[in-house]
């Protein structure tokens, strides 16, 4: 992010999130000036997004984000220590890919399944393809996938309500 100006933040939100995934029903943000701008408020109003703010000095209210940040910082520290390099920004997107493809113990599914309804196609799987064991036809596969996704959402929702 080049800066934290309101116009930059709003543009990144619209072009980086909404354009890729569609509009949200709710957006919780910190109380930084960029998130409190009339630009972002107007976008939320027009897109019918209910905007909420995290309470001041209470990061626990945004626990999932704080936990994700902690995990990313742990990965960054490990990279810097192992490679004696501060060039972490060059591979951050690849780490985030791995993070999104990993099963999370709290939800019991990957973030990609919960967010996108499908597993990510990882480069390692493309480079070393395996024939699927017990391959079934497309209609049966789609039906089984739909059933698994419904179960995944139900379990993830139950675990989220416990956290």
What are the pLDDT digits (tens) for 39-82? 889 999 999 999 988 877 776 777 777 888 888 888 888 888 88
What are the pLDDT digits (tens) for 1-24? 778 888 888 888 899 889 988 898
Tell me which residue has tokens 């599914």. Answer: 109
The least confident of 31-45, 92-106, 139-153 is 139-153
Q: Which residues contact 116 (CB under 8 A, 6 or more apart)?
A: 21
pTM for the model stands at: 0.56
HSE toward the beta carbon, residue 83, CA cutoff 13 A: 12
DSSP string, 116-160: HSS----HHHHHS--PPTT---HHHHHHHHHHHHHHHHHHHHHHH
The superfamily CATH assigns to domain 1-53 is Ribonuclease H-like superfamily/Ribonuclease H (3.30.420.10)
Domain boundaries, the chain: 1-53, 91-163
Helix, coil or strand: residue 87: coil
DSSP string, 2-55: ----HHHHHHHIIIIIIHHH---SEEEE---GGGSSHHHHHHHHHTT-EEEEPP
């Amino acid at each position: 992010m080049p800066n934290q100006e309101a116009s930059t933040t709003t543009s990144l939100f619209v072009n980086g999130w909404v354009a890729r995934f569609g509009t949200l029903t709710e957006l919780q943000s910190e109380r930084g000036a960029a998130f409190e701008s009339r630009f972002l408020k107007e976008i939320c109003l027009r897109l019918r997004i209910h905007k909420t703010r995290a309470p001041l000095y209470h990061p626990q209210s945004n626990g999932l984000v704080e936990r994700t940040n902690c995990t990313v910082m742990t990965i960054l520290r490990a990279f810097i220590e192992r490679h004696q390099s501060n060039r972490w920004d060059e591979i951050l997107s690849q780490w985030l890919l791995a993070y999104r493809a990993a099963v999370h113990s709290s939800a019991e599914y990957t973030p990609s399944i919960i967010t996108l309804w499908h597993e990510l196609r990882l480069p390692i799987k493309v480079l070393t393809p395996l024939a699927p064991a017990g391959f079934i036809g497309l209609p049966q596969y789609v039906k089984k996938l739909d059933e698994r996704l419904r179960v995944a959402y139900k379990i993830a929702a139950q675990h989220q309500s416990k956290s």
